[in-house]
Structure 1
């Protein structure tokens, strides 16, 4: 037992000391939330020997980007109207540099959101930081601005939440909003557009693209409203797609082995709770009080699901709904499916009927991405319902409630035989992984958590509403 403990400590020390070169390019969910087993991760977070450092930071909900000796995140000072990119020292937590951007006007965000939501990306030489309509910024490792690119404006009540990903010499962003949705690839060296592909049929979603290198091909995959689509990396040309997703997608697909896994849920996508919009002529006959051939918000009955979503349906923002706007969103509501699925690689065109291994329709997450770990897919639903599926078959192995109730925004993280789940209130549940998983610990940070925990070199970095924590053996 003593010998085994010593070996573990040696391995932990070696891995904790791994720096830059071994990190590789870093961006949101590049590790699929499965961080490996070659090191010990904490079961208890209240032990002093586990806390390496805590550093207070300004508000923001972006997941930290950990690369080399830096921990980089974004912040938003509402009073000063200042967005900032902040670099902390990976070993001590002390601030190394800060780059601020003054903002006069920025799109609105969700009540639980922030303009500082997108996770920075790093290719080992530069950081790529996205601030919605304020733009995409490129900094070197010392915080010097290399270039910036204007983006937007985006017509969206909830802002722009997708994070940049890196592939070849490109930085890629998916921007699905109420109008002018698109996928854009930008040259990392100079900020110039290499290609831009319209996704005009897509309505608002907030998923981050995924680079899928399978046995068949290497593609960019984007999950959006109603459809998951694979694109050619060099040209941005759509290659294949799968229909049947929710009407708004916040989660990001994950890859395990030669399969891709997806889970998405939005109100109105369950068969028993559909949001229905009658045909436009019928709605017009019933609601068009002034007989002008359009439907104003004031003409809709109180409590109407259309009235509650008027902003996104009114695509030209003229205060009225015409036939094309009505039809587009009637189709979205009619076609939406809340579902988890497993996909095989390859194919061309619509592969919905040929490349989907299985579907599962219960216990689905709204925002947090699932993870697949040792052949089991894990999903956490608001109110703390954790569901595990056999990744090969889609059969449920267990469903149960974990300690953290309320809403979940942070994605699941798996490693060292454990699953970590953080709710918005700041309660972390530590779960022993397996088809019949069990809760083995919990910790209440007493601070809001929306960012996803990050594991690098055997240490776990957790961002709360007020601080960044680094945990691991010292």
Structure 2
């Protein structure tokens, strides 16, 4: 028998501590349920640079991790460029600039002769960075502590897509501890005062396009995907020590590109925990105790999978990534290869490359990267609407106080009433680039832009 226990248990843990505590806890990517749900009430629906901004705090460096909230603190990560040692910089060997081909004389009119090709200079080597975990006071936005946990100087490790950052995975919180993962750069555990308890770099891998997926806590383990340019896999660390407890390799797939950036999802089916982990060409359900596979579905050449899967009605809903994403609904009660038996439906229209999906009741909502929002029946894939909502988008959808929140890459946002027709409640503009997903803090929203972190609240005066 299927169960939605992970959703209900996660939400229940928050509610056990009381409503106010639940609203003040946002412990990981996509919140207490890991699926974009909040129990908070009274959230703002409209804002602007001069409207409903409680505070705006500039953040040094660059990072696209989403905010995490606990005990009156907001935790984020960032990557700060380090000064370059001229001696070390001189030692970096760069590819030589291409040599222009020799000019060959062409008879006739000189004005019609092809111009000689211009040699292109090689791109500059990436600057080394220090990777930081920061705690901000939730009431004021002021920095409480800022801890450098790792340094990265290897140019090969620093190569990334222009849209990415070296600090894109989101911190995971549990009482007394923070786990900050930086993909191939390593992982760190800190206490709530910012003291480093351990660091681990024993599971480094060759990156492609930079950092990505966040980790998930399962009992005494910290589990994350390690899908780099080659030899993709999944890793579990002992959360007390940072030592590797298990590591599994992905099975061979049709995907030529092996890299992906997905965040695993913990679910429970018939009393058994499953870690849902999507990589290039395959999604697997793993036993968290040892990494052994419970079931898998193959999906061809799909790669660079980013959206975190969601779980509802006994099914996993997910996107297969680039180049052409396919939306899949998969029954989660299988064993072994269930590619031909457990895929309930698949969809190719308006499926996201980056934003994670949202299931509310019987409806599945998807925000495509082009800003088009679609709503369909989660069980049957019957389309209710497919309409333009925003511009190009990367952030995942949020459901709070009976409304759906979405934000695009230019800082434009829309608040939508759930239902089978598109009903836009409000739109807003911050006019700052943002790729990070929203978080909830008490009765307010947290929005991270390229330059700053905003706390947005109803009718609240700006903090000085």
Normalising TM by the smaller chain, what interval? 0.7 to 0.9
**Aligned partners of 2:327 and 2:348 also within 8 Å:** yes
After TM superposition, give the deviation of residue 353 of structure 1 in Å. Answer: 2.4
Shift of the 24–449 alpha-carbon distance from structure 1 to 2, 3 Å rule, reads closer
Give the aligned partner of residue 73 of structure 2: 70
Question: Structure 2 length normalisation: TM-score?
Answer: 0.79
Tell me, in whole angstroms, the C-alpha distance in 1 between the residues paired with 2:321 and 2:242: 34
Q: Within 5 A, what are the aligned runs for 1:289-438?
A: 338-402=325-389, 404-405=390-391, 407-438=392-423
> Aligned pairs, how many?
389
Q: Please state whether the residue corresponding to 1:23 is helix, strand or coil.
A: coil
Using the TM superposition, name which of 54-63 and 230-239 deviates more: 54-63
| Unmatched runs of 5 consecutive residues or more in structure 2 | 1-16, 84-128
Tell me, in whole angstroms, the C-alpha distance in 2 between the residues paired with 1:375 and 1:472: 30
Q: Within 5 A, what are the aligned runs for 1:66-215?
A: 66-80=69-83, 81-100=129-148, 101-105=150-154, 106-199=157-250, 201=252, 203-215=258-270
After TM superposition, give the deviation of residue 395 of structure 1 in Å. Answer: 1.0
1:449 aligned to 431, 434, 438, which one?
434
Q: Please state whether the residue corresponding to 1:410 is helix, strand or coil.
A: coil
After TM superposition, give the deviation of residue 343 of structure 1 in Å. Answer: 2.0
Using the TM superposition, name which of 195-204 and 381-390 deviates more: 195-204
Q: Please state whether the residue corresponding to 2:184 is helix, strand or coil.
A: helix
Give the aligned partner of residue 317 of structure 1: none
After TM superposition, give the deviation of residue 345 of structure 1 in Å. Answer: 2.2
After TM superposition, give the deviation of residue 459 of structure 1 in Å. Answer: 2.2
**1:45 correspondence with 2:47:** yes
1:242 aligned to 273, 297, 311, which one?
297
1:224 aligned to 279, 285, 299, which one?
279
Q: Please state whether the residue corresponding to 2:145 is helix, strand or coil.
A: strand
| Unmatched runs of 5 consecutive residues or more in structure 1 | 1-14, 270-337
Q: Please state whether the residue corresponding to 1:74 is helix, strand or coil.
A: strand
Shift of the 218–411 alpha-carbon distance from structure 1 to 2, 3 Å rule, reads same
After TM superposition, give the deviation of residue 31 of structure 1 in Å. Answer: 2.4
Q: Within 5 A, what are the aligned runs for 1:7-18?
A: 18=20
Shift of the 151–427 alpha-carbon distance from structure 1 to 2, 3 Å rule, reads farther
Give the number of the structure whose residues are more often helix, by fraction.
Answer: 1
After TM superposition, give the deviation of residue 170 of structure 1 in Å. Answer: 0.7
**Aligned partners of 1:85 and 1:129 also within 8 Å:** yes
Q: Please state whether the residue corresponding to 1:425 is helix, strand or coil.
A: coil
Q: Deviations over 1:308-359 (max 9, x none)?
A: xxxxxxxxxxxxxxxxxxxxxxxxxxxxxx3212222212101122222222
After TM superposition, give the deviation of residue 190 of structure 1 in Å. Answer: 0.8
Shift of the 176–27 alpha-carbon distance from structure 1 to 2, 3 Å rule, reads same
Question: Structure 1 length normalisation: TM-score?
Answer: 0.77
After TM superposition, give the deviation of residue 21 of structure 1 in Å. Answer: 10
Q: Deviations over 1:376-408 (max 9, x none)?
A: 111111221111111121111100111x32x32
Tell me, in whole angstroms, the C-alpha distance in 2 between the residues paired with 1:24 and 1:120: 10
Q: Deviations over 1:147-189 (max 9, x none)?
A: 0001444223312311111110111111111212111111111
